[in-house]
Structure 1
Amino acid sequence: MIVDRQGRRFRNLRVSLTAACNYACSYCVPNGKRLVAAQDELPADTLARGVAYLIEAAGIERLRITGGEPLISPRLDAFLAAVAQLALQDITLTTNGQLLSRKLPQLQAAGIRRLNVSLDTLDPLAFRRIARGGDLATVLAGMQQARALGMQIKVNMVPMRGQNLDQVLPLLDYCLEQGFELRFIELMRMGHLARDHNAFVQQFVGLDSLLELIGQAHAYQQVDAPLDATALRYQIPGRGHFGVIANESVPFCRTCSRLRLSSTGWLHGCLSSNNRHYVGDLLAKPRHEALPALQRLLVKALADKQELAFSGGVTVMKVIGG
């Protein structure tokens, strides 16, 4: 097991199946152009082998499948079938929900029981303005169908001044009524927002402002969350829960257990670091050759983590998964 001086280790792996996305969200890409798949994206069996090697080399326990948008990847079905056979405590998937209805049979067959759906507004016009693609009604229908199959759903919202701050309470009420858990994610200084400080500051909504807004309509209380959780968790008595991923206001770097594997075979130990470590060549090697080399790279990836707080990074989030 690889552990740093703060006692951190990698427990959670996020695998990006593809950099491609059928949205072009304003906080992710600045020019409205949808990201496309990289030419050198690894085959599904190679990515799945990477997960298997990382379980053994790093002690990975939980897997989240991300993108881009994983549901548009031609690798999805084969990857799901492969990782379903691995010794993982939990497999979840993050999606924008646009293709959820179509892909639910495959997800259910692979044993996926928990989903994270990115949704920033219940206003159809604002939805099109922020996502720059897709259809709100299709997403909501997919979520309802997933819930009917017994899947647990968390909804991820990025509140932004001038774009969707008026949707905080409507979306929270909707999620409480539907039995979904809403998680507010503070805007991150990633990609173009890491370079454009003014744009970031103008749109950023911090934890205190968010809780003040929620407190105008709901009484809430903070409840316990796992030590390495990214979200602060709150309960609205008799209604349900919501969370806030306050990466700027209340950094969680000291307890971060996340590792990311890109669709092109790069390991990212920290979103705030520009360092990355190529493992694509190792994944073609037999286990006895790959594991020692992989462990050496994992030591470097763990050292990339910030000591105290998230400081931003120029990498586009969609390339390496949320």
Structure 2
Amino acid sequence: MIVDRQGRRFRNLRVSLTAACNYACTYCVPNGKRLVAAQDELPAEALARGVAYLVEAAGIDQLRITGGEPLISPRLEAFLAAVATLGLKDTSLTTNGQLLARKLPLLQAAGIRRLNVSLDTLDPNAFRRIARGGDLACVLEGMAQASAAGMRIKVNMVPMRGQNFDQVLPLLDYCLERGYELRFIELMRMGHLARDANAFRQQFVGLEQLLTRIGLAHGYVQAAAPQDATALRYHIPGKGYFGVIANESVPFCRTCSRLRLSSTGWLHGCLSSSNRHYIGELLDKPRHQALPALQRLLVKALADKQEQAFAGDVMVMKVIGG
């Protein structure tokens, strides 16, 4: 097991199946152009082999499949089949939900039981303005079908001043009524927002402001969460739970257990670091040769983590798996 001086280790792996996305959300890309697949994205079998090696080399026991948008990837079915054999404690998937109804049978057959759905508003006009793609009704229908099929759903919302802050309470009530757990994610200084401090400040909504708005309609108490959780979790008695990923207001770097693997074979130990470590060339090597080299890269990736707080980076979030 690889552990740093703060006692952190990698337990959670997020694999970006593709950099391509059928949305062009304002907080992700500045120019409205949809992200496309990289020319050198690895085959599903190679990515799955990377996961298997990381399970053994780092002790990974939780996997989240991300993008871009994973449901548009032609690698999805083969990757799901391969990682289903690894005996992971938990495998989940993050999606914008646009193709969720269509892909639901595949996800069920692969044993996916948890979904994170990115949804920033219930207002169709605001949805089109923020996502710059997709159809809100399709997303809501996909979530309803997944819930009816027994999947646990968390909804990810990025509240932003001037764009969707008025949707905080409507979306929270919508989720509470349906048994979804809403996670508010503070705007992150990633990509173009790392370069434009003024745009970031104008849109940023912090934990205190968010809880004040929620407190106008609901009483809540803070709930317990795992030691390495990224979200502060709150309980509204008799109604349900919500969470806040307060990366700016209450940094969680000291307990972070996340590792990211891009679709092109690069390991990222920290979102605040431009450092990356290529494992693609190891995936064709036999296990006894690959694992020692991989462990050396993991030591470097763990050293990339911030000691105190998130600092931001110019990388585009969706390229490395959210």
SS of residue in 2 equivalent to 1:163? coil
Distance 1:286 1:208 in 2: 51
What's 2:249 paired with? 249
2:3 equivalent to 1:9: no
What's 1:206 paired with? 206
2:57 equivalent to 1:57: yes
Task: State the AA in 2 paired with 1:136.
Answer: L
2:136 equivalent to 1:130: no
Distance 1:265 1:285 in 2: 14
What's 1:195 paired with? 195
What's 2:320 paired with? 320
What's 2:114 paired with? 114
What's 2:68 paired with? 68
* Cα shift at 1:225: 0.2
* Cα shift at 1:221: 0.4
What's 1:184 paired with? 184
What's 2:42 paired with? 42
SS of residue in 2 equivalent to 1:260? strand
Quote the RMSD (CA, aligned, Å): 0.3
What's 1:305 paired with? 305
SS of residue in 1 equivalent to 2:102? helix
* CA-to-aligned-CA distance 1:62-101 (integer Å, 9 cap, x gap): 0000000000000000000000010200000000000000
SS of residue in 2 equivalent to 1:284? coil
* CA-to-aligned-CA distance 1:275-311 (integer Å, 9 cap, x gap): 0000000011110110000000000000000000000
Distance 1:192 1:36 in 2: 17
What's 2:146 paired with? 146
Distance 1:285 1:133 in 2: 41
Gaps of 5+ in 1: none
What's 2:31 paired with? 31
2:109 equivalent to 1:104: no
2:142 equivalent to 1:164: no
Distance 2:27 2:211 in 1: 22
SS of residue in 2 equivalent to 1:199? helix
Task: State the AA in 2 paired with 1:12.
Answer: N
What percentage of aligned pairs have identical amino acids? Answer: 85
Distance 1:64 1:308 in 2: 24
What's 1:90 paired with? 90
Gaps of 5+ in 2: none
Distance 2:87 2:154 in 1: 24
Distance 2:130 2:207 in 1: 21
* CA-to-aligned-CA distance 1:145-166 (integer Å, 9 cap, x gap): 0001000000000000000000
**Within 5 A, what are the aligned runs for 1:274-313?**
274-313=274-313
* Cα shift at 1:321: 1.0
Distance 1:76 1:285 in 2: 24
* CA-to-aligned-CA distance 1:196-238 (integer Å, 9 cap, x gap): 0000000000000000000000000001100000000000000
Task: State the AA in 1 paired with 2:169.
Answer: L
What's 1:265 paired with? 265
Task: State the AA in 1 paired with 2:290.
Answer: A
Task: State the AA in 2 paired with 1:321.
Answer: G
Distance 1:153 1:4 in 2: 33
Task: State the AA in 2 paired with 1:239.
Answer: K
Distance 1:90 1:285 in 2: 27
TM-score by length of 1: 1.00
Task: State the AA in 2 paired with 1:31.
Answer: N
Number of matched pairs:
322
SS of residue in 2 equivalent to 1:88? coil
Distance 1:116 1:284 in 2: 32
What's 1:239 paired with? 239
Distance 2:115 2:291 in 1: 31
Distance 2:309 2:46 in 1: 33
Distance 1:51 1:280 in 2: 12
Distance 2:104 2:172 in 1: 24
Distance 1:70 1:136 in 2: 18
Distance 1:286 1:15 in 2: 22
